[in-house]
C-alpha cells in the first residue's frame, strides 16, 4: 500500500466538507473515495479463490464458518443464494460505511493479513443463519439486508455463521438481590456474558445502603459503590477475542439512600476511591419524584433493608409512587431526606459533566407494561431501550440456584425507514421477515452461562425491532425535523410497524406456540390494544397522507386491528415484547444512514478514526437540494423536537426508545430539567445520553466537536456504537 494511494481516498473524502467555486458541495467525492478505498485498501488484501466451493471449504476447514449452518441447505441452493447476492451489486454509499465494515465486521484471517468476506457475503451468512433452513426466507432476507431495508444488530451481523464467535445478543439485564450470593453471582455472570461479547446492565436498587445493619449489627454494610467498583473491574477485564470491549451499566432508584453518592461517582473531581470511569449509570425515577419537585418538597429516601423486612419483598418490587405515603408513615422503615428540586439539579450537573446518567421513567414503563401480573419493570439496559419484567432469583450458600428467576436479553435489529418506505407496498411482509429473524436469534443463542437470562429468554422470546434513518427520510422528502409533519409521519410509521409486528408474532404463535405467560398478559384479554381498537389512527397532515399514498403504503385500519386482536386472543403471540428502538450508532454507519430516530448533528459529520484522523460522513442521500433539511441538526432543533418525535413513536413501541438529548454549552441545568419534565409529560420511557456541544476555534475555522466531552483533559466519547465505545455497540 503506497502512501499516495492511502492519501488519495482520504483526500477525496475530505473534499465532501467543502464547496466548489460554483457553491456546490463535493458529495460525489465521497463516493469516489469509497471506490478508491476498496480498490487500494481492500481488494489487494482480499484472499482469492478459484470457485465458491473452494472458498467455503477453506472457511469451514479453517474454523471460520460453521458448517452446520451451511448444511441446512443444499449445495445447489448455496450456489444460488451467492449468485442472488452478487446480482444486488451492493456498494457502500459512503466511505465511513465501507471502513466500518472492513475494520469491525468483515471476517479476516487470524493473522489479519487477508480479508475473507465482502459485505454481500456477510449478509448471505446472516440470511442463512436467520432463515434456519428456509430457502425462501433466506433469499428474501438477503434482499432486505443488501437493499438496506433491514439490518441485524451488531452482535448478530458480526457473529452469524461463524465457527468461533460470541453470542448474537446485544445486551443483558440482571437484577441483584440484597445478599452476598446474588452479588457474587452477578459479578460472575457479568464476566461470562462479557466474554461472549454482550453488554450487561445490573439493577442495584435492592442492595442495602452503606452503614445499614448486617445480621442485626448496625453500621456494617459497605453500600453500592464497592459493588460498582467490582463490576467496573469485571467489565474492563473481559473482551470478546479483542473484538468488543466488555461494557456494563448499573441502575439505581432515585429513592435509594445512596442516590447522591451514586451520582457523585461520575463527577470530574470525584475522589478516586469512589470515581467510576467506564461503568455507565442509570437512574430509575418514579412519578412521585416529579410531583414532589413540582411542589418544592423534600423527597424521602428509603432503606431497602427495611423495605424488605416490612413488605417481605425487595424495594424494586413495590411501587414507590403508590406506597410513598405508607412508607413515610411507617416508623420501621428508616428514611433520609433530600430536596427533590436539588436532586434534579444534581442530575443535570452530572449529565453536563459526563453525559450520564440515563433515565428510566419507572411508572411510565410499568403503566405500559402488558405483563403486570408477571412482575415489574425495574431497570433498562446499556442503551435504555429495553423495558421488560425481571424477577428475583434465590441461591444456596454455594451460590447455586435455589430458585431461578427471570432476567432479560436483547434480541435486536432495525428497519431503515427511508429504504423500507421505498418498498411500501411490501412493508408488512418485510416487517414479518424481520420479526421472524429476531425470533430466530432468541431461539438460537446459548445462554447456559446465565440460567436466569436463559429462563427469561426461553419463556418470553422477547425481541426488540427498532428503526433508523428517520431524519434521512424526512430530509430527502423535504420535511424539517422540528415540524408537525415529522411528528405525524413518525406516529403513523410506528403505528403501522406495530400492527405488522403483532401480526407476524401471531402468525408464528400458530406455528411455534405462544410465549409462556401469554394467558396472564394484557394481550390475552385485548386490553393492551384498546388504543387501536377504540381510537382512530390516521395521518393528521396532508403531506404525510400523500407520502404514504405515493409509496402504496397500506396503513392498517381500526377494523384491521379489531380482527387481529381477536385472532391474538385466540392463538396468542410468540413474543412477549416486539418493539424497542436502539441507538443504532454502528449499524447506521454501516448502512450509511442517520442513526435511530435522532436528527444528525451536522449535514457532514466529522469522525475521528484512529491513525487516519478525521473522516467526513455525509448524511443519507444528501445533495445541494436537501442540504438545508439536514442543516438544522440535533443541536439546532434542541431537546423539545427530539422529545416530541420520540413521544410519537413511543405510543406504539411496547418497550422504550434510546433518546439522546443534544444541548449547547450555553444550556443550563434548568434547561435540562425542563427536558426531563417534557419527556415525562409526553410519556417517553427513557432518556439515553445527554450530549453537549463544545464550540472551539481550530485555526480560523469554527469546529464543532459535537460528540466529545472534555473530562480531566481526557477525551470521553459519548456512546456512538463504535468499536472504541465503552458501551453497547448496537
Neighbours of 311 (CB within 10 A): 16
C-alpha 195: how far from chain center = 20
Write b or e for each residue in 370-387: b if 16 or more Cβ atoms lie within 10 A of its Cβ, otherwise e: bbeebbbbbbbbbbbbbb
Q: What is the DSSP letter of 426?
A: G
State the cell numbers at 338: 433530600
Q: How many CA atoms lie within 13 A of 466 on its CB side?
A: 35
Closest by CA to 427, choosing from 441, 414, 415, 413, is: 415
8 A C-beta contact, residue 348 and residue 359? no
- The label of the residue with cell 453500592 reads 224
- 724 has catalytic annotation: no
Q: Residue 671: how many CB atoms within 10 A of its CB?
A: 15
3-state secondary structure of 239: strand
Within 477-613, residue ranges assigned H as helices are 484-512, 530-533, 542-550, 558-571, 585-590
Joined together, the cell numbers standing for residue 201 give: 446492565
Sign of the torsion angle spanned by Cα atoms 496, 499, 500, 502: positive
Q: Which residues have a Cβ under 8 Å from the Cβ of 314 and sit 6 or more positions away?
A: 177, 178, 205, 206, 304, 307, 308, 392
**Residue 94 designated active-site:** no
Residue of 94, 159, 366, 381 marked catalytic? 381
Q: Which three cell numbers stand for residue 376?
A: 415489574
Beta-strand relationship, 171-175 and 408-409: antiparallel
CA 684 from centre of chain: 15
Give CA–CA dist 69/583, Å, rounded. Answer: 30
Strands 690-698 and 701-705: antiparallel
How far the first Cα of the chain sits from its last, in Å, is: 32
Strand partners, 280: 249
* Four-point Cα dihedral 66, 71, 74, 77, nearest 10: -20
Q: What angle do CA 96, 101, 107 make, to 5 degrees?
A: 160
* Residues facing 711 on adjacent strands: 714
Check 203, 383, 410, 684 and give the catalytic one. Answer: 383
Catalytic hit among 167, 181, 385, 436: 385
CA distances from 648 to 471, 643, 683, 691 (A): 14, 9, 9, 22
**Cell 423500507 found at:** 420
Angle (deg, nearest 10), helices 484-512 and 558-571: 30
Asked whether the beta carbons of 455 and 404 are under 8 A apart, the reply is yes
Instruction: Please state, in angstroms and as integers, the Cα–Cα distance from residue 458 to each residue in 172, 364, 442, 452, 520, following that order.
Output: 14, 26, 8, 10, 17
Please report where in the chains the cell 448444511 appears, as a residue: 71
- Residue 385 falls in the annotated catalytic set: yes
The three three-digit cell numbers of residue 661, written as one number:
438529548
What is the full DSSP assignment across 258-293? Answer: THHHHHHTTSTT--TTT--SS-EEEEEE-HHHHHHH
Whose CA is closest to 672, among 413, 379, 368, 346?
Answer: 346
| Strands 335-339 vs 358-361: parallel, antiparallel or unpaired | unpaired
The SS3 assignment for 357 reads coil
- Cell numbers representing residue 549 in the block: 399514498
Contact 461, 576 (CB under 8 A): yes
Please state whether the peptide bond connecting residue 658 to the residue before it is cis, i.e. omega within 30 degrees of 0. Answer: no
Q: How far apart are CA 545 and CA 561, in angstroms?
A: 20
Residues identified as active-site: 381, 383, 385
Amino acid at each position: 500500500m503506497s502512501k499516495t494511494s492511502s492519501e488519495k481516498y482520504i483526500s477525496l473524502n475530505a473534499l465532501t466538507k467543502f464547496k466548489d467555486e460554483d457553491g456546490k458541495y463535493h458529495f460525489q467525492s465521497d463516493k469516489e473515495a469509497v471506490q478508491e478505498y476498496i480498490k487500494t485498501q481492500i481488494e489487494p488484501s482480499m484472499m482469492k479463490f478459484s470457485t465458491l466451493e473452494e472458498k467455503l471449504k477453506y472457511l469451514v476447514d479453517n474454523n471460520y464458518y460453521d458448517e452446520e449452518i451451511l448444511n441446512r441447505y443444499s449445495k445447489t441452493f448455496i450456489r444460488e443464494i451467492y449468485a442472488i447476492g452478487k446480482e444486488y451489486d451492493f456498494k457502500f454509499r459512503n466511505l465511513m460505511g465501507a471502513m466500518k465494515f472492513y475494520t469491525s465486521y468483515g471476517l479476516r484471517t487470524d493473522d489479519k493479513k487477508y480479508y475473507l468476506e465482502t459485505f454481500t457475503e456477510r449478509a448471505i451468512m446472516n440470511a442463512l443463519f436467520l432463515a434456519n433452513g428456509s430457502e425462501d426466507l433466506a433469499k428474501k432476507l438477503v434482499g432486505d439486508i443488501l437493499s438496506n431495508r433491514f439490518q441485524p444488530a451488531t452482535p448478530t451481523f458480526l457473529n452469524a455463521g461463524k465457527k468461533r464467535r460470541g453470542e448474537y445478543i446485544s445486551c443483558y439485564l440482571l437484577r441483584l438481590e440484597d445478599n452476598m450470593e446474588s452479588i457474587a453471582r452477578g459479578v460472575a455472570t457479568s464476566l461470562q456474558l462479557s466474554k461472549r461479547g454482550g453488554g450487561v446492565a445490573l439493577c442495584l436498587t435492592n442492595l442495602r445502603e452503606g452503614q445499614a445493619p448486617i445480621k442485626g449489627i448496625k453500621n456494617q454494610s459497605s453500600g453500592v459503590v464497592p459493588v460498582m467498583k467490582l463490576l467496573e473491574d469485571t467489565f474492563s477485564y473481559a473482551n470478546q477475542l479483542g473484538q468488543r470491549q466488555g461494557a456494563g451499566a448499573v441502575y439505581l432508584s432515585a429513592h435509594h439512600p445512596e442516590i447522591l453518592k451514586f451520582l457523585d461517582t461520575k463527577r470530574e473531581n470525584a475522589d478516586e476511591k469512589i470515581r467510576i470511569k467506564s461503568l455507565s449509570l442509570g437512574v430509575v425515577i418514579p412519578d412521585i419524584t416529579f410531583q414532589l419537585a413540582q411542589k418544592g418538597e423534600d423527597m424521602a429516601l428509603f432503606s431497602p433493608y427495611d423495605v424488605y423486612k416490612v413488605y417481605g419483598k425487595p424495594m424494586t418490587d413495590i411501587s414507590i409512587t403508590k406506597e410513598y405515603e405508607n412508607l413515610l408513615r411507617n416508623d420501621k422503615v428508616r428514611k433520609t431526606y433530600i430536596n427533590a428540586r436539588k436532586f434534579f439539579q444534581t442530575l443535570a450537573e452530572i449529565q453536563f459533566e459526563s453525559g450520564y446518567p440515563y433515565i428510566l421513567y419507572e411508572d411510565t414503563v410499568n403503566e405500559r407494561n402488558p405483563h403486570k401480573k408477571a412482575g415489574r419493570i425495574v431497570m433498562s439496559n446499556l442503551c435504555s431501550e429495553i423495558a421488560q419484567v425481571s424477577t428475583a432469583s434465590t441461591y444456596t450458600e454455594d451460590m447455586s440456584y435455589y430458585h431461578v428467576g427471570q432476567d432479560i436479553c436483547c434480541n435486536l435489529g432495525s428497519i431503515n425507514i427511508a429504504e423500507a418506505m421505498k418498498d411500501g407496498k411490501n412493508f408488512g411482509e418485510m416487517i414479518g421477515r424481520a420479526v421472524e429473524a429476531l425470533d430466530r436469534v432468541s431461539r438460537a443463542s446459548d445462554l447456559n452461562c446465565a440460567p436466569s437470562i436463559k429462563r427469561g429468554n426461553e419463556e418470553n422470546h422477547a425481541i426488540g425491532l427498532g428503526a433508523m434513518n428517520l431524519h434521512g427520510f424526512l430530509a430527502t422528502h423535504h420535511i424539517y425535523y422540528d415540524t408537525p409533519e415529522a411528528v405525524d409521519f413518525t406516529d403513523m410509521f410506528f403505528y403501522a410497524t406495530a400492527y405488522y409486528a403483532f401480526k407476524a408474532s401471531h402468525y408464528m404463535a400458530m406455528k411455534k406456540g405462544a410465549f409462556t405467560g401469554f394467558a396472564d398478559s394484557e394481550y390475552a384479554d385485548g386490553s393492551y390494544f384498546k388504543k387501536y381498537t377504540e381510537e382512530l389512527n390516521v395521518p393528521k397532515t396532508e403531506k404525510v397522507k400523500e407520502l404514504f399514498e405515493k409509496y402504496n403504503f397500506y396503513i392498517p385500519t381500526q377494523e384491521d386491528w379489531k380482527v387481529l386482536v381477536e385472532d391474538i386472543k385466540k392463538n396468542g403471540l410468540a413474543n412477549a415484547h416486539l418493539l424497542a428502538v436502539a441507538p443504532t450508532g454502528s449499524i447506521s454507519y454501516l448502512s450509511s444512514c442517520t442513526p435511530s430516530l435522532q436528527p444528525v448533528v451536522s449535514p457532514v459529520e466529522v469522525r475521528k478514526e484512529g491513525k487516519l484522523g478525521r473522516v467526513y460522513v455525509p448524511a443519507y442521500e444528501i445533495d445541494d437540494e436537501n442540504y438545508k433539511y439536514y442543516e438544522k441538526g440535533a443541536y439546532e432543533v434542541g431537546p423539545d423536537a427530539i422529545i416530541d418525535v420520540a413521544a410519537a413513536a413511543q405510543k406504539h413501541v411496547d418497550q422504550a426508545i434510546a433518546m439522546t438529548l443534544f444541548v449547547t454549552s450555553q444550556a443550563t441545568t434548568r434547561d435540562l430539567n425542563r427536558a426531563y419534565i417534557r419527556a415525562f409529560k409526553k410519556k417517553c420511557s427513557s432518556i439515553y445520553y445527554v450530549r453537549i456541544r463544545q464550540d472551539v476555534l481550530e485555526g480560523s475555522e469554527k469546529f464543532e466537536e459535537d460528540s466529545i466531552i472534555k473530562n480531566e483533559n481526557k477525551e470521553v466519547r459519548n456512546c456512538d456504537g463504535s468499536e472504541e465505545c465503552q458501551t453497547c455497540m448496537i
